[in-house]
């Protein structure tokens, strides 16, 4: 006898926590009406820079039913990556903590496969797809609808009890579940720490990011030379940036992650400024095997380090 939607929803959430997710919420698969004009304006103002892929599949980004036939539910999940480990040399070019360990796409995708299998065991054959920041899905919008947190002034999702150092992922399924119908409320208040702290002024207004000015974009997504206007404004970041999260008061509630895969190799933290400046492609390949840093490639990382030293 199949489980009712209330019971299977509880079981899915319990299994998600067992698999190491920080939290799990469920939304009804429907058109994202509120996000449509925001996305359109953001693209029209070219605030996505060279990320031309953001212009693709506009309709699919706003409607999960175009990604999975007869989709009825969006399960939003968060996985913690917060760590208090830091690079030992304070003068070394900096690496965002999300990229310390194994590529999160790989780690989370494996767990989502296990979760889908679990759901099938309890419900029979279902149609669904797993997404980890690599398809036209508006992760933060769905997570907000599911009550996992609110989208803050730095445009990151913030959870009142766990901060914002977590990855987001989704399962879109063609089965009805019990939906979390109370989205999280905004608790940024009058705080502007993230806006004030951004050295490139990428947060051009509360809740509005010009990605083409963001250090993460400049060091990862941008394929050309970094524009000279950002000289002296990169705060020594060579891959990604954590500034707007580090200054966020809600991250005092962040807890250390328990994912072994996200831990950095000891030699990564031990690298000194000179080591980074002299890094070879062979060392790069060994140090970042299975890492998200591979996205920028050796040439990209060398470009970033060189720019910091100009």
Domains of the chain in start order, with CATH, are 5-88+102-173 (3.40.109), 203-252+263-309 (no CATH)
**Model pTM?**
0.94
**Active-site hit among 63, 69, 70, 133:** 133
Q: What is the mean pLDDT of the chain?
A: 95
Contact 242, 96 (CB under 8 A): yes
Between the alpha carbon of residue 174 and those of residues 34, 189, 272, 297, the distances in Å are 23, 38, 50, 38
Q: Note the pLDDT of residue 182.
A: 86
Contacts of 37 (CB under 8 A, 6+ apart): none
**Half-sphere exposure for 176 (CA within 13 Å, toward CB):** 4
| Of residues 134 and 158, more confidently modeled | 158
| Minimum mean pLDDT range among 22-31, 180-189, 244-253 | 180-189
Encode pLDDT of 282-303 as tens digits.
999 999 999 999 999 999 999 9
CA distance 69 to 271: 48
Backbone angles phi, psi at 83, to 5 degrees: -140, 150
Q: Which residues of 37-67 are buried (b: 16+ CB within 10 A; e: fewer)?
A: eebeebeeeebbbeeeebeeeeeebbbbeeb
Cα dihedral 216, 218, 222, 224, rounded to 10, equals: -160
Q: What is the pLDDT of residues 145-163, one digit of tens each?
A: 999 999 999 999 999 999 9
117 catalytic residue (yes or no) = no
Stated length of the chain: 310
Q: What is the mean pLDDT of residues 101-112?
A: 97
In tens, the pLDDT along 44-91 reads: 888 888 887 787 878 889 999 999 999 999 999 999 999 999 999 999
pLDDT at position 33 over 80: yes
């Amino acid at each position: 006898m199949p489980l009712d939607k209330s019971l299977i929803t509880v079981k899915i959430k319990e299994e998600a926590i067992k698999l190491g997710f920080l939290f799990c919420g469920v939304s009804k698969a429907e058109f994202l009406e509120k996000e449509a004009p925001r996305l359109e304006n953001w693209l029209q103002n070219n605030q996505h820079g060279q990320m031309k892929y953001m212009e693709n599949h506009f309709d699919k980004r706003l409607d999960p039913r175009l990604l999975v036939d007869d989709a009825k539910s969006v399960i939003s999940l968060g996985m913690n990556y917060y760590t208090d480990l830091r690079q030992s040399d304070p003068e070394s070019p900096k690496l965002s903590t999300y990229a310390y360990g194994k590529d999160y796409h790989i780690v989370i995708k494996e767990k989502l496969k296990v979760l889908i299998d679990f759901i099938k065991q309890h419900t029979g054959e279902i149609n669904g797809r797993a997404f980890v920041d690599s398809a036209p899905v508006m992760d933060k919008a769905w997570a907000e609808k599911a009550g996992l947190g609110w989208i803050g002034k730095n445009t990151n999702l913030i959870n009142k009890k766990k901060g914002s150092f977590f990855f987001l992922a989704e399962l879109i399924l063609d089965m009805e579940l019990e939906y979390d119908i109370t989205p999280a409320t905004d608790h940024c208040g009058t705080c502007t720490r993230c806006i004030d702290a951004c050295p490139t002024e990428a947060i051009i207004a509360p809740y509005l990011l010009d990605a083409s000015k963001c250090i993460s974009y400049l060091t990862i997504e941008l394929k050309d030379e970094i524009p000279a206007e950002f000289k002296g404004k990169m705060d020594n970041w060579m891959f990604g940036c954590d500034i707007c999260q580090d200054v966020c008061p809600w991250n005092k509630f962040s807890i250390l992650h328990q994912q072994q895969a996200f831990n950095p190799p000891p030699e990564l933290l031990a690298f000194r400024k000179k080591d980074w400046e002299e890094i070879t492609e062979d060392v790069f390949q060994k140090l970042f095997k299975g890492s998200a840093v591979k996205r920028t490639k050796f040439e990209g990382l060398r470009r970033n380090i060189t720019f910091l030293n100009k």
